[in-house]
Amino acid sequence: MATQTQSLPGVAITARRSEGVWRDAFGRLRKNKLALLGALGVFLLLFAGIFGPLLAPWPYQVQDLAAVVANNNLPLAPFQNPSHILGTDSLGRDILSRLLDGAQVSMTVAFVVQLVVLFIGVPLGAIAGWFGGRIDTYLMRITDIFYAFPDLLFIILLSVAFRETAFGRALNGVLLVFVAIGLTSWVTVARLIRGQLLSLKETEFVEAARAIGVSDRNIVVKHLLPNAIGPVIVAVTLGIPTAILAEATLAYIGIGVQPPRASWGTLIADGQPYIRSYPWLTVLPGIMIATALMSFTFLGDGLRDALDPKLKGKQ
Amino acid sequence: MEEAVSLELTPDEAARITREQRETKAAKSKNLLEVRNLSTHFFTPDGVVRAVDDVSFELGYGETLGLVGESGCGKSVTALSLTRLVPNPPGRIVAGSVVFDGVDLLKLSEDGMRKLRGKEIGFIFQDPLTSLNPTLTIGYQIAEAIRQHMGLSKKASFDRVVELLAKVGIPRARDRLNDYPHQFSGGMRQRVMIAIALSCDPKLILADEPTTALDVTIQAQILELISVLSDEFGTAVLLITHDLGIAAGMCDRVNVMYAGRIVETGSVDVIFERPRMPYAWGLLDSLPRLDDVRGDRLRTIEGLPPLLINVPDACRFNPRCNFARDACRDHEPELTAREEPGHFARCWATDKGGWIP
């Protein structure tokens, strides 16, 4: 406090503001350079994902055949032609535009999957943790089964099984993949919430809430979940890179986003045959994936340190 | 207008009806709370723990009743049983009745019970540090009971919260509504707990060791606050404490509990002046006194309260009692009336024909 007043001469000490948990955590997050870098990356990616189609110099599916023909039918290299800054693929499609389209897919996957995860994981975990006993046992065995089942196999099975239904065709087949990835990744959040509730429900403030006649539902929703939200935010943020990677992996093997739409995974798959002659076709989407994964991981780690300062230094 | 006339009562009729209402109410219960043969057991892997065993007492409107005894003799479980908040499993109320304002709480539906908690019966917990939710503002937590039970508008409940906070002596109440519990000191938090307990004008407040977690000066303030506000609101208080000094200062009557039983009950004067149960003597004797010789050891009751599993038919205090004889080990004494009205004790030695005059 003293140093602060010294560095700000003439500024009276203002009345102490209400400092919630969040303000506290934000203060700690701001001091973490790596987390800030991650946040910047996440912000740029989100920006690209939301406004990408507006920023893109070309629509993602348009083939600039004239440019390719002029280049002896070869893909344009980055910076070779000012109208295609990052070059084109062998069909004359603008790489930058396709990367931006891929960003949109990846950002959607990042958030839709986590919504699915929260939608399933939080209620299941809350029910298991709150009621305990037999309900808890059954729900946790179900989660164990989901946890033990090979993710990729499960997603592929779902994608194939529902491919021809209306649900499978929704959003160009992407929705199905999103939901499938979500269905394999809610386990962590469910276990987290359950563990938190198991310990939180024994606290005295729950007893106090009961003693003033608060209903079970309100105790869980208003009293317990806000106390459990910190670790969940961390888990969700750290779950995003996993989801992005899963989507890219699936796209790479041809499940999910269908051409002509681009995903970073399909871009790599498309570029792979030419990797010796035109490495940028695979390297550029690879860089995007790596950037996205690192940004979210850094931010997630930073959030964990910020929301649970006791944990820091123990690891 | 004509209908209104036909509805009007003659003064005689009106007087008769109010008298009848008063009489039926009186017939139903002269007391706010009547606990009869309450037994709460905990079903553990090691056996059945009889935490509260056949406890009966009553509490009048506006009265302050103390429940004193060592740790682990069933005081808190008694209070939790009254509001049916005993953790189940492993605990269960196995017998008895709790008639509160004419209604048997043990026969009430869970929903009906929930509507009563916080509205008719307020609860002050031992540790204000842990009984407030760290993630919710003070304002929200006080308003919660009000919104739950009184159906006030947001504005009205806000005003009521400010009024309550001012009443329990929190300065700048309006500015502190959006503060979190960690921004309050321990004594302040207990004041907030009292505000929560009083928020819906309850008829009864259960105060479970309300000052144990506080230091002595704050303790005095909080007790004063409880006493003043319960007088002002006409609220009855069941004060649970292991501190006899507090009981002596606050209560009209005192129940002494030991090992799940009430072992002595009477007015505060009788219990402190002429107790008739060796356990009460022991408790009183272990109070430090101003005229004690410096350097003397503090007096204690040797030993520990018994495990409440497989309790034999014997006086539960006999292993620690200096006056115990075979009679104490053969049968458990009943609560029997002593000289003063309303004074009962559970002891063979001090009963008629006993060996202590």
Contact B180 A20 (CB under 8 A): yes
pLDDT digits (tens, 9 = 90+) for B216-246: 888 888 888 888 888 888 889 999 988 888 8
pLDDT digits (tens, 9 = 90+) for B148-195: 888 788 888 888 899 888 888 888 888 888 888 888 888 888 888 888
B167 touches A: beta carbon within 8 Å:
no
Q: Which residues of chain A have pLDDT under 50?
A: 1-15, 18, 313-315
Measure in Å the smallest separation between the Cα of A87 and chain B Cα atoms.
Answer: 52
The separation between CA B135 and the C-alpha centre of its own chain, rounded to angstroms, equals 29
Contact list, B137 vs chain A (CB under 8 Å): 18
Helical H runs in chain B? 2-7, 11-28, 75-82, 110-116, 138-150, 154-167, 173-176, 186-198, 216-233, 244-250, 268-273, 278-285, 326-330
| Burial category of A13 from C-beta neighbours within 10 Å (exposed 0-12, middle 13-18, buried 19 and up) | exposed
**Contact between B256 and B270 (Cβ < 8 Å):** no
Residue B12 is predicted with a pLDDT of 66
Nearest C-alpha neighbor of B236 from the set B253, B257, B216:
B253
Residue A315 is predicted with a pLDDT of 42
Measured CA to CA, the distance from residue B88 to residue B96 in angstroms comes to 17
**Contact between A235 and A189 (Cβ < 8 Å):** yes
**Residue B241 belongs to what H/E stretch?**
strand B236-241
Contact list, B117 vs chain A (CB under 8 Å): 210-213
Contact list, B193 vs chain A (CB under 8 Å): 208
Written as one letter, the residue type at B47 is: G
Residue B87 is predicted with a pLDDT of 84
Q: Which residues pair with B64 in a beta bridge?
A: B237
Measured CA to CA, the distance from residue B169 to residue B184 in angstroms comes to 13
Query: How many C-beta atoms lie closer than 10 Å to residue B30's C-beta?
Result: 11
Contact list, A19 vs chain B (CB under 8 Å): 180, 183
Is the pLDDT confidence value at B261 over 70?
yes
Whole-number average pLDDT of chain B: 83
Contact A214 B127 (CB under 8 A): no
Measured CA to CA, the distance from residue B174 to residue B68 in angstroms comes to 37
Nearest Cβ partner of B131 from A208, A213, A226?
A208
Contact A18 B122 (CB under 8 A): no
**Contact between B305 and B242 (Cβ < 8 Å):** no
Residue A127 is predicted with a pLDDT of 93
DSSP characters over B14-77: HHHHHHHHHHHHHHH-SSSEEEEEEEEEEEETTEEEEEEEEEEEEE-TT-EEEEE--TTSSHHH
Residue B169 is predicted with a pLDDT of 84
Nearest Cβ partner of A213 from B117, B130, B183?
B117
Contact A209 B133 (CB under 8 A): yes
Residue A211 is predicted with a pLDDT of 87
Question: In this structure, what token pair is assigned to residue A241?
Answer: 């890179």
* Average pLDDT of span B316-324: 84
Query: How many C-beta atoms lie closer than 10 Å to residue A139's C-beta?
Result: 18
SS3 assignment, position B301:
coil
- Counting residues of chain B whose pLDDT is more than 90, the rounded percentage is 4
Nearest Cβ partner of B196 from A16, A212, A222?
A212
* Secondary structure letter of residue A253 according to DSSP: T
Residue A302 is predicted with a pLDDT of 87
Strand order in the sheet with B336-337: B121-124, B204-208, B236-241, B64-68, B253-258, B261-267, B344-345, B336-337
Contact B148 A210 (CB under 8 A): no
Which pairing describes strands B204-208 and B236-241: parallel, antiparallel, or unpaired?
Answer: parallel
Task: Give whole-number Cα distances, A259 to A173, A177, A178, A256, A269, in Å.
Answer: 11, 15, 17, 10, 12
pLDDT digits (tens, 9 = 90+) for B83-114: 888 887 788 888 888 888 888 888 888 888 88
The CATH number, out of the four listed (1.10.3720.10, 3.30.70.20, 2.40.40.20, 3.30.450.20), of the domain defined by the range A29-51+94-307? 1.10.3720.10
Contact list, A213 vs chain B (CB under 8 Å): 114-119, 145, 148-149
Nearest C-alpha neighbor of A243 from the set A272, A268, A265:
A265
A49 contacts: CB under 8 Å, gap ≥ 6: A103, A104, A106, A107, A108
Q: What angle do CA A299, A300, A305 make, to 5 degrees?
A: 95
**Contact between B335 and B265 (Cβ < 8 Å):** yes
pLDDT digits (tens, 9 = 90+) for B2-56: 444 444 556 666 566 555 555 555 444 478 888 889 999 899 888 888 888 888 9
pLDDT category of residue B1 using cuts at 50, 70 and 90: very low
Measured CA to CA, the distance from residue A258 to residue A169 in angstroms comes to 10
Contact list, B122 vs chain A (CB under 8 Å): 211-212
Task: Give whole-number Cα distances, B55 to A173, B121, B144, B168, in Å.
Answer: 68, 20, 33, 33
Q: Which site among A19, A136, A212 would you substitute to test the B interface, given the most B Cβ atoms closer than 10 Å to its Cβ?
A: A212
| Side-chain half-sphere exposure of A185, counting CA atoms within 13 A | 32
Contact B148 A214 (CB under 8 A): yes
**Contact between A229 and A220 (Cβ < 8 Å):** no
Nearest C-alpha neighbor of A102 from the set A306, A272, A256, A273:
A256
Chain B, 180 to 219: residues with Cβ < 8 Å from chain A are: 180, 183, 193, 196, 199
Task: Give whole-number Cα distances, B299 to A236, B283, B286, B320, B323, in Å.
Answer: 59, 9, 5, 14, 17
Highest averaged pLDDT of the listed ranges A108-122, B269-283, B293-307? A108-122
A221 touches B: beta carbon within 8 Å:
no
Contact B145 A222 (CB under 8 A): no
Measure in Å the smallest separation between the Cα of B315 and chain A Cα atoms.
Answer: 34
